[in-house]
Amino acid sequence: MMENYKTDGLITAPYTPFKENGDLDLNRIPDYVDHLVSLGIENAFVNGTTGEGMSMTIDERKQTAEAWVTAAKDRKLKIVVHVGALCLRDSKMLAKHAQEIGAHSIGALASVYHRPTSEEALVEYLAEIAAEAPSLPFFYYAINFMTNVYLNEAKCMDLAKKAIPTFKGMKHSSKEKDSIARCLMKSEGGKYEVQIGSDDQFLETLVLGARLPVMNSYVAPMFHRMIKAFDSNDMETAQKEQNRALQVCDIIKRLGVPNKAVMNLSGFAVGPTRLPVKMPTVEIQETLKQELTEIGFFDWIKEPWQ
């Protein structure tokens, strides 16, 4: 698996479905897989930030990972399991479990309470996690605005290449474009992947050479059209699709709502968030729906992309 592993197409970070009382709603996942496949999404990064993995117990994360792997079996959907946790031993346990259940690859973010203060310390930490799943490709999940770990991510890539035999690349959700560019320069022609976790600046990174977006599934039609237009040198259309995604991001930020609220309006309901992330009030949900309607969002997601 390691030698031939290659990520193709769009990647989404799916939401973990919850019931109204906050319990897992894993019966939704088979239909969720169908929904993602219908959107042409080929990879799912589960139990990450969007999936609220850090708000789940270790047992819940195991159950959720198993549900995704089972539902995606024999489907064109690779399952990448995020195994980062507050405790290194928990991360190692989750990595081992991901390999046992047949996940396609794993990823982990930095420790977020006792934080590494050097690139060397971070990579040593990640190496212990990756070693528990020696047959699975490993990705470093860089998301500094959430972890508050601000290190040289390109240097981390260089160190990880030498220290982690299964290292395959990075899920780069940090916002600094100069860091993205430097990491792409370290990719060695695609041997090491740099996946871009951002709905609002993917076109800019396409220009830098990125090819692998990690996005909310509701913008997948826009991203398909954006990449197709970019590859055809149709920058006007590519810019239009990126600007559409940006308008959605702007509404979310202005209203202060979680992305899950948009997902629930976009054709596949995934339930509420868990505290401390709060779902919007009924009034704000109505405002969200109205503003998305006014910009054309519900028409954009229905436009052809194939």
Residues catalogued as catalytic: 141, 171
Number of H-type helices and E-type strands within the chain: 13, 8
Tokens 């969007």 -> residue: 50
- The backbone torsions φ and ψ at residue 135, rounded to the nearest 5 degrees and listed phi first, read -100, 0
- The backbone torsions φ and ψ at residue 49, rounded to the nearest 5 degrees and listed phi first, read -65, -50
Cα-based angle 241, 244, 249 (whole degrees, multiple of 5): 130
SS3 97: helix
What CA–CA distance (Å, rounded) separates 34 from 265? 17
What CA–CA distance (Å, rounded) separates 297 from 293? 6
- The backbone torsions φ and ψ at residue 117, rounded to the nearest 5 degrees and listed phi first, read -105, 5
Q: Which residues pair with 41 in a beta bridge?
A: 10
Amino acid type, 249: C
276: preceding bond cis by omega (within 30 degrees): yes
Neighbours of 124 (CB within 10 A): 14
What CA–CA distance (Å, rounded) separates 99 from 194? 22
Asked if residues 8 and 16 have their Cβ atoms less than 8 Å apart, the reply is no
- Nearest-Å Rg of the Cα atoms of the chain is 18
Nearest to 51 by CA among 223, 201, 260, 249: 260
